[in-house]
Amino acid sequence: MSTPFSDLDAFLALPRVAGLALSPDGTRLVTTVAGLSPDGTRHVTSLWEVDPAGSAPARRLTRSRKGEQSPVFAADGALLFTSARPDPDGDDDEDARAALWRLPLGGEAHVLATRPGGVSAPLAARDAPVVVALSDTLPGSTDAADDERRRAVRKERKVSAVLHEGYPVRHWDSDLGPGQPRLVAAGLDTDEPAWRDLTPEPGRALDLAGLDLAPDGSAVVTTWTVAEPGGGQRATLVVVDVATGERRTLADDGSSAHSSPRMSPDGRAVAFVRQRRSTAQEPVDSRLCVVPLDGSAGPREVAPEWDRWPEELRWAADGSALLVAADELGASPVFRVEVATGEVVRLTADGGRYTDLQVAPDGAALYALRDTIDAPPAPVRLDPAAAGQRPVPLPGPAAQPGVPGSLAEVTTTAEDGTPLRAALVLPEGDGPHPLLVWVHGGPLGSWNFWSWRWSPWLLAAQGYAVLLPDPALSTGYGLEMVRRGWGDWGGAPYHDVIALTDAALERPDLDETRTAAMGGSFGGYLVNWIAGHTDRFRAIVTHAGLWDLTQFAGTTDVSYYWVREMTPQVAAASSPSAYADAIRTPMLVVHGDEDYRVPVGEGLRLWWDLVSRSGQTELPHRFLLFPDEGHWVLAPQNARTWYETVSAFLAWHVLGGEWVAPDVLR
């Protein structure tokens, strides 16, 4: 069967759907679609409308070189979004920051409000002409004009330095600063709304803020990061008065992290996720909580006996329940959690992952994006109260691409009796197929989703079977599954992957003589560990993998989190670098120079340990370095090179071919 997965250019050109926004009256549903730019070097987003009734085809709403993001509906039904595209009534500034735009029903889009540092994460009140957003603002700026002046001075003097007064200084692939996010608000009852700064001089409190706006626009509830002695931090929950900027704390027990706040439909309560702080002995644990907005009582855990970690959450239309998505046994279903009793009912019976939940105002429907390992995100409609249901597909902006193979499941039992499972991507044909064992990152995660960046179907199109194991530390199997691998990454997680590999190779359609292992981030760590503990694989691909945990501890962007799990003794004992002398397997090392989560020093040190121990000038190993990429390889042209190089390395060592580097690297 001919599919886009046989051609990297065709694969990279596939449209990618993400995000949902529902109008206050429930009649309009909007999503974002990323498409390849004409020169093939980036993805550009546009907004599309999806018919909630499922009758009309999706239609495109916006088009520009810069793209549009973050759609939300105002109370009057107008669509708001952010974009750095040129203002038709202004100058064409290539360096322009994202502004807030308004697209009225049946009219032309126009700029609604700007800030010198741009705006992001807008939220509009359901019942009032109020919008809030985050805006990057230089410290010390008294207003927007002052911020603009300070930016002009830095630009004129070509100053790029950032002065930090605390920790952290980076996040994933980005440097923090020199600006700081501030919460701003504006009224939509005027043609030229003016932003009001609700949080002057917040420091780094609103980095990565999760926020929600009361239906009447009177208050914003947001996470608020508090610095702790010794470089630590915790995310508290606060409420900010939109009229005065007055701020008070809603939830803070002195140690837990708080996230994903959601206002109830009547504006009287806030649902959120509270994550227990980990220790060297105990893992994190996420709990679903509710707190009154007026502070009349403290937070209350809603379903204390539920052993799943809530992620997506929304209130039911009548406020009696929370609609929650959470990983479970290789899926991420939607659950209904009764607020009064804590009763939990699984609504979706299939193996899909559901994200971007949107509740119809009359309570008759729940909209979401659904994806699986073998199908990319697409809009669906659900019943917010019916257990065991199947989703109703809605006509979306992108057709579902056919995959070159099928999906199966592998199960076995760990040495301690724990049930284990993995997904297995099978190529077309009878086999026996070469097997690629692909370990997920996280490590707190699960192989239950479609991935554009880590697509097993591109390898299946080349004839590989791909095993996607969920070892210890994987989510959706209960806290004990996480505890099994906590602080012992080379223990149960390693043995679980090997056990699932053994179970998979009992199948007659897989070839045990042609196997490889691959992983990124934590998955990179685990295949690095595998390299020093077994030579059963013919090749190993490690992307952004941790190598020396003692070196890594102080250079990652979140050292304060890391040291809670790994003591110096555990880090030394768990470092793959301690077993470098035992490596016999050819390795492809891949790293981005701008990776701050797993800094490039991990890849450089691994490469040196391989080279210095090889005793050869003609190495069986390769090092693929991306100077302009971070933890992920995102630019389409670089992603193409990544897949080409991985395929060439596997063909060399697994299939027995000659080493042939991709054309662009020769």
Cross-strand bridge partners of residue 355: 369
Mean pLDDT over each residue of the chain, to the nearest integer: 96
pLDDT bucket at 453, cuts 50 / 70 / 90: very high
Query: Which residues are within 8 A (CB) of 53 and not within 5 positions of it... i.e. 6 or more apart?
Result: none
373 touches 456 (CB < 8 A): yes
| 482-486-491 Cα angle (round to 5) | 100
pLDDT bucket at 615, cuts 50 / 70 / 90: confident
pLDDT tens readout for residues 520-564: 999 999 999 999 999 999 999 999 999 999 999 999 999 999 999
pLDDT for the residue numbered 90: 66
The 8 Å CB, 24+ separation contacts for 48-54 are: 48/396, 48/397, 50/379, 50/394, 50/395, 50/396, 50/397, 51/394, 51/395, 52/22, 52/26, 52/27, 52/28, 52/360, 52/365, 52/367, 52/381, 52/394, 54/381, 54/392, 54/393, 54/394, 54/395
pLDDT tens readout for residues 31-88: 999 999 999 999 999 999 999 999 999 999 999 999 999 999 999 999 999 999 988 7
Structure-token pair, residue 260: 């994903």
pLDDT tens readout for residues 403-419: 999 999 999 999 999 99
Calpha distance 518→191 (Å, rounded): 55
Q: Are strands 59-60 and 622-626 parallel, antiparallel or unpaired?
A: unpaired
Average pLDDT over residues 173-182: 96
pLDDT bucket at 96, cuts 50 / 70 / 90: confident
pLDDT bucket at 91, cuts 50 / 70 / 90: low
pLDDT tens readout for residues 553-599: 999 999 999 999 999 999 999 999 999 999 999 999 999 999 999 99
pLDDT for the residue numbered 1: 61
Give residue for tokens 């990776």: 595
Domains of the chain, first to last: 405-665 (3.40.50.1820)
3-class secondary structure per residue, 391-411 = CEECCCCCCCCCCCEEEEEEE
Structure-token pair, residue 600: 């490039």
pLDDT for the residue numbered 496: 98
pLDDT for the residue numbered 95: 73
Residue 661 buriedness (CB in 10 A; 0-12 / 13-18 / 19+):
middle
pLDDT bucket at 92, cuts 50 / 70 / 90: low
Average pLDDT over residues 439-444: 97
pLDDT for the residue numbered 89: 72
466 touches 436 (CB < 8 A): yes
Using CA atoms, how far residue 254 sits from 66, 207, 208, 236, 283, in Å, is 42, 19, 19, 8, 17
pLDDT tens readout for residues 364-398: 999 999 999 999 999 999 999 999 999 999 999 99
pLDDT tens readout for residues 196-244: 999 999 999 999 999 999 999 999 999 999 999 999 999 999 999 999 9
pLDDT tens readout for residues 103-131: 998 889 999 999 999 999 999 999 999 99
pLDDT for the residue numbered 94: 65
Single-letter code of the amino acid located at 58:
A
pLDDT for the residue numbered 340: 97
